[in-house]
Amino acid sequence: MKVRIKLYASLAEYLPMGAVKNEADLEVCDKATPTQIILRLGLPEKMCHMVLINGVYIAPDERGSTSLAVGDHLAIWPPVAGG
Amino acid sequence: MQKSLSIDPDKCTGCLQCELACSYDNENAFNPAKSRIKIFTFHDKGRFVPYTCTQCYEAWCMHACPVDAITLDKGTGAKIVHDNLCVGCKVCTIACPFGTINYNADTGKVIKCDLCEGEPECAKACPTDAITYVDANWTGLEKMRAWAEKTDAGQASA
Amino acid sequence: MAWAKKLLRVNLTAGTISEEALNMDWANKYLGQRGLATKYFVEEVDPKVDPLSPDNKMIMATGPLTGTCASTAGRYSVITKGALTGAIACSNSGGFFGNEMKNAGYDMVIFEGASKTPVYLFIDNDNAQLIDASDMWGTSVWDTEDKIKSDHQDPMIRVASIGISGEKGVKYACVVNDYHRAAGRSGVGTVMGSKNLKAVAIRGTKGVTVKDPVRFFEAANAGKAVLAGNPVTGEGLPAFGTQVLMNVINETGALPSQNHRDVQFDGAHAISAEAMAEPRESDGKPNLVRNAACFGCTIACGRISTIDRTHYTVAERPEYQVASGGLEYEAAWALGAATGVDDLDALTFANFICNEQGYDPISFGATVGAAMELYEIGAITDKETGGIELKFGSAKALTDLAELTGKSEGFGAEIGLGSKLLCEKYGHGELSMSVKGQEFPAYDSRGIQGMGLTYATSNRGACHLRSYTVASEVLGIPEKTDPLVHEGKAGLVKAFQDATAVFDSAGICVFTSFAWSLEDVAPQIDAACEGDWSVETLLEVGERIWNLERNFNNAAGFTAADDKLPERLMKDAAKTGPAKGLTSQLDKMLPEYYQLRGWTADGVPTNETLGRLGL
Amino acid sequence: MTYVIIGAGPAGVTAADTLRKADPKADIVMIGSEPEPPYSRMAIPYVLTGLIAEEGTYLRKEEGHYDKNAIQYRQGEAESIDPKNKVVKLKGTDDQPYSKLLIATGASPVKPPIDGLDLKGVHHCWTLEDCRNIMKFADKGADVVLMGAGFIGCIIMEALAERGVNLTVVEALDRMVPRMMNEAAGNMVKAWCEKQNVNVHTSTKVTKLEASKDPEDTLVVDLDNGKQIPAHLVVVATGVKSNIDFVDGAGLKTDQGILVDECMRTSVDDIYAAGDCAQGPDFSTGGWAVHAVQPTAVDHGRIAGLNMAGKSAPFKGSLNMNVLDTVGLISASFGKWDGIEGGDHAEVIDTENFKYMRLEFDGDKIIGALSLGRTDQIGVLRGLIQTEIALGPWKERLMENPHLIADAYVACSQQ
């Protein structure tokens, strides 16, 4: 199934080829979890501070058990802040 | 291996922590106006340039001093102003083509970078490694020295 | 020791300047800057005063750490009764001005009265004088700063000034120092303009000392190490600035767009930190030139930017083709998302103009957004706008209005009223996205529930900097809470409010709080300042300051009825994103908040609370 | 190899030290004509003020410096040079043979043709001996007349003022420090001095000095404007001239001083000259000039030493520059401070605060500068001038605000 991957700030360098505006579509297996995708893209785990599926925060201990559905948006940030 | 201050303006954010550390170490107060290192800000280019004494080999300030009040610290290579000998004549301040030795009207003496006896506070305080204290041979100060050589001859060949 | 223990009182009506010893009893109870200056202000000013009357006062104040080597310790605040809000106003600014004031030997400068003719205050250590500024009146912040430095032939003078907008009464004019740092909100620059005070210029070379230097160095260095080791303050902010939030908040569904009709913005990426770093087509260079620090700041989140030379705003105007203060998140949101404009160069240009003419990009952008909605519904037409096609998404309308508002000309004068007065004037007060007259910043209270309470209870009107619960609700600092629920938010908001009042009163930047808790701050204050300063004392100081401000507002005529959000946020549910279907739950949070604060159900501090805090 | 240096001032001592470094084994003989160890005339004013003792003026402070470096320091006054036999003849003592000779005999104060300059209570301020004499007279409240408000006169003035004397300065030309300052700056210095209670007469000449008996052992100074000023002490500082009379007959080409090339060589083989007695390359004009100032003396000494030791080190020329503290007002001048024809200049005058800055340009390069009331980073003016930095866009900024010199220097040299 296809999901949309969004990697921001310093994680942008891990985006797959062909990414536009920090986003790329990725073919993943059914019920893929954020942890699986993080591993596949080679993202350093401690850099994955904010993991959002469709804008909803996924806590670290739920990243291996929460499954994505077709067309879901998985967005990941390193530790950032602003104001 | 003798060390010297290495300056990388590209890394400088203009925070002035170096000036604060320098002034506190030397003047017992946080006072950028009394710092021996100075950050130049080029506003419309977004550029910050830390600037201090190069400790040139044959220092103009040292030679120009009429009373031998500036001497070479053989350990660090720094040219040191001895307050007990300095008479405040200011000849060194016009002799130094970098303008990095300055008169302090409060004390009637001149002040300049002395490399903090080999542990420069500015380098310690710099949060971005724009100022580091490294082996003398590969420092950014070479650029300043290159300019220095244009000032007169005898400098390089000495 | 840390405090200079001296203040300068400038009576602009009489043209007199006098020195006073700082009230150290008050300093021990209110620390400095925001807290201490507010104490002076409420003691000296009638809460009912018209903000623009000579009876209003304006205080520029530093904190005890200002000018020391503690990280970020270069701050100052401007305290007055806000021209935009009529509430207590305290706007905080970085740059290098606060440090210079401390080095000249003053903790604060109190301005009272109003000058008959334009003047500026020049402080050269012990020598302070009011100087005629007639030749600067009608010039921009940038020109004023240059002229003062040139007149005194001293490029090291630090200047805080107002632009034309502040002179002409734009309600949200700022005080701008160092070209692009600003005490930005609530119209503190408008008050300054009403006093005919064009600028304050300072050269200070006296130095700042601390109580226990050895311990202070240790504490300050420990603090710096925490900032450097923290991924947010050590890596994220320097590299991406606050603008990194654009995509975060958009993804979270809390990015108010088009006057808060939507909570997400299609153009978010185009105006984000990521876009600022991308090479542009015309010259291959990114918008972002580099990051820059304020005085003593080891984070360096500031942006220095350039505008594409071929862009319509600057193609014929080389003076705007140089590097200058770039977009921060709140400004980018207001100039962009709030108006639906996704042209990064246009936003950067508007931001330059805000700095150059000294007015708040948040209130400006939000007001333009409101005006665009008024235009869309036909409440204002081309006749009022002078032919500007005021459509959501129009970069040209944004930049034209930026220039007009800077000079308070044409429809810019209307935009300069702020959204509340503008919307009321055209019969749609409900379209003003504001609290106590001050426009919201960049977070939607439906998608981040705590921010609704933050805005509603902020003593200076809607503001993110009074309790930045975004840190917890979205970013997980210090720990993650759920942004969509209202439970627990009253306590969260109170805790943030009290702690923030301490940061604002110490002379340091609130951004340190992404890494520092008061456990990191207390040792620095304790080593620098006379007296004993623990986390507990500081928290009490914070709570005391909050109640002091609240008391002033209550006396000024504000009531619980002013602690409210616009109907749109209470009734119109978010249309997209995680908060889809949700409205703000303010009515559930507010009573709990009052209770936690020790206030009556009407939002008035009880005698018991006041007594406990020594008020 | 025997290097002989006549003169033990800054040029001589610097040359001796340079020679020792460059040629560790050679014999080095330095001949001084005064009884004290080599000392600095520049420091004499600070003895007058009491800031330092006489030892504080010594050019080298390290104990046994000359012995340690095998520099033989010989008392004596050179009478003549015999280049053919390579010998320096000394008054009343043995001749000094040399392999290579450096003449660094400095300069002496000139005595104007005025009656009464030999009277008791009239002194130059040139040697430590002069200094001791002045100190005998210049007590607090004493009436002191200073003849000459040139560079040296002004340096002494500071010291005299600090001793609390009742000071009157008489300068023949129309302004103070006329050779270092233009009218605007010179007048500002005058106004400042008057503010510090120094009586200043410019465009005024001393016509004669007479002894007075009322009170005993004092003087009366007659001025050409008819005024008479009583004085316990008269200090004569009306200029100096190079000490070169003794080289007559040695075949050296001379003008104002001994002419030297860019390696400090005189016209005679193996004889070099340096310091106040040498007329060396002038950076600003490309010609030859005597620049009787400390930085030039040590530059000369170092260049001469290197070349004498066989290291080729041509000199780009000395920059005429001065720094002066006139009773607390600090001024500096560099290079062609009076500009060149057709060159631009930038000038700001702040009369109220005694601040002045003037830059002289040749195209987009700075060739000279005058500054009053500023000390910060003032040395960059030397850097800007001597490295001939093309300022480009910075010229316009300096034209607007000449106080941006340091910014301009850093911007143009460190980018």
Tell me the per-residue pLDDT of D230-240, one tens digit each, with 9 for 90 and over. Answer: 999 999 999 99
Q: How far D220 CA lies from chain B's nearest CA (Å)?
A: 33
**CA C308/CA C282 separation, integer angstroms:** 7
- Same domain as D170, residue D218: yes
The pLDDT value given to residue B154: 45
Percent of chain C predicted with pLDDT > 70: 100
The pLDDT value given to residue D396: 96
List subunits contacting chain C, requiring 3 or more Cβ pairs under 8 Å: A, B, D
Average pLDDT (C451-464) is 98
Mean pLDDT taken over chain C: 97
The pLDDT value given to residue B158: 35
**CATH code for position B64:** 3.30.70.20
**CATH code for position D269:** 3.50.50.60
Average pLDDT (C498-524) is 97
Lowest-confidence segment of C67-76, D36-45, D155-164, D341-350 by average pLDDT? D155-164
The pLDDT value given to residue D216: 81
Give the tens place of pLDDT for each residue, D146-171.
Answer: 999 998 889 889 899 989 999 999 99
Asked if pLDDT for residue B137 goes beyond 80, the answer is no
Among B63, B81, B85, B155, most D C-beta atoms within 10 A, so best to mutate, is B63
> C155–D350: do the CB atoms touch at under 8 Å?
no
Find, in chain A, the residue whose alpha carbon is nearest to that of C330. A83
Q: How confident is the model at residue D117 (pLDDT cuts 50, 70, 90)?
A: very high
Q: Domain ranges in chain C?
A: 6-203, 241-432, 449-612
What's this model's pTM, rounded to 2 decimal places?
0.94
Q: What are phi and psi of B111, to 5 degrees?
A: -130, 145
Q: Which among D321, D356, D313, D315 has a CA at the least distance from the CA of D337?
A: D321
Q: Indicate the residue of A52, A80, A83 with minimum beta-carbon distance to C251.
A: A52
- Same domain as D77, residue D30: yes
**CA D223/CA D335 separation, integer angstroms:** 34
Average pLDDT (C100-120) is 98
| ipTM of the complex model | 0.94
Q: Residue D330 domain-assigned?
A: no
The pLDDT value given to residue B156: 38
The pLDDT value given to residue D414: 73
The pLDDT value given to residue C84: 98
Q: Indicate the residue of C67, C205, C224 with minimum beta-carbon distance to B127.
A: C224
The pLDDT value given to residue B150: 62
Sheet containing strand D345-350, strands side by side: D321-326, D329-335, D365-372, D355-362, D345-350
Last residue of a domain, one of D212, D236, D260: D236
Give the tens place of pLDDT for each residue, C396-438.
Answer: 999 999 999 999 999 999 999 999 999 999 999 999 999 999 9
> A80–C244: do the CB atoms touch at under 8 Å?
yes
> D383–B151: do the CB atoms touch at under 8 Å?
yes
The residue segments making up the domain with residue D200 are: 122-236
Find, in chain C, the residue whose alpha carbon is nearest to that of D401. C150
Q: Which among D230, D232, D206 has a CA at the least distance from the CA of D116?
A: D206
Sheet containing strand C302-305, strands side by side: C288-292, C302-305, C324-325
Q: Indicate the residue of A8, A57, A80 with minimum beta-carbon distance to C232.
A: A80
List the alpha helices (DSSP H) in C3-159.
24-30, 33-44, 97-103, 141-151
* Beta strands, E only, C411-534: 434-435, 438-439
- Please state, as a whole number, how many other Cβ atoms lie within 10 Å of the Cβ of residue D286: 8
Asked if pLDDT for residue C454 goes beyond 90, the answer is yes
The pLDDT value given to residue B157: 37
Q: How confident is the model at residue D217 (pLDDT cuts 50, 70, 90)?
A: confident
The pLDDT value given to residue D215: 81
Average pLDDT (C449-467) is 97
> A50–C248: do the CB atoms touch at under 8 Å?
yes
> C153–D400: do the CB atoms touch at under 8 Å?
no
The pLDDT value given to residue A2: 96
Find, in chain D, the residue whose alpha carbon is nearest to that of C152. D350
Q: Indicate the residue of C205, C224, C289 with minimum beta-carbon distance to B46.
A: C289
Average pLDDT (C596-612) is 97
List the alpha helices (DSSP H) in D176-331.
183-195, 294-308
| All domains of chain A in start order, with CATH | 2-77 (3.10.20.30)
> D295–B60: do the CB atoms touch at under 8 Å?
yes
The pLDDT value given to residue D214: 80
- Same domain as D127, residue D176: yes
Q: How confident is the model at residue B1 (pLDDT cuts 50, 70, 90)?
A: low
Interface B:D, Cβ pairs < 8 A: 160
Q: What is the domain count for chain D?
A: 3
DSSP symbol at C201: E
Decide if D350 touches C, using CB distance below 8 A: yes
On whether the C6-203 domain is CATH 3.60.9.10, my answer is yes
Average pLDDT (C201-206) is 97
**CA D25/CA D22 separation, integer angstroms:** 9
Find, in chain B, the residue whose alpha carbon is nearest to that of C299. B127
Asked if pLDDT for residue C371 goes beyond 80, the answer is yes
Tokens 């009531």 belong to C559
List the alpha helices (DSSP H) in D69-150.
128-137
Q: How confident is the model at residue B135 (pLDDT cuts 50, 70, 90)?
A: confident
- Estimate the crossing angle of helix C344-357 against helix C141-151, to 10 degrees: 50
* The listed CATH number (1.10.569.10, 1.10.3720.10, 2.40.30.10, 3.30.360.10) that belongs to domain C241-432: 1.10.569.10
Q: What is the domain count for chain B?
A: 1
The pLDDT value given to residue D166: 95
Find, in chain C, the residue whose alpha carbon is nearest to that of D355. C153
**CA B81/CA C469 separation, integer angstroms:** 53
Sheet containing strand D27-32, strands side by side: D71-75, D27-32, D2-6, D100-103, D271-273
Give the tens place of pLDDT for each residue, B43-74.
Answer: 899 999 999 998 988 899 999 999 999 999 99
Contact D44, D138 (CB under 8 A): no
Asked if pLDDT for residue C335 goes beyond 60, the answer is yes
Give CATH for domain C449-612. Answer: 1.10.599.10
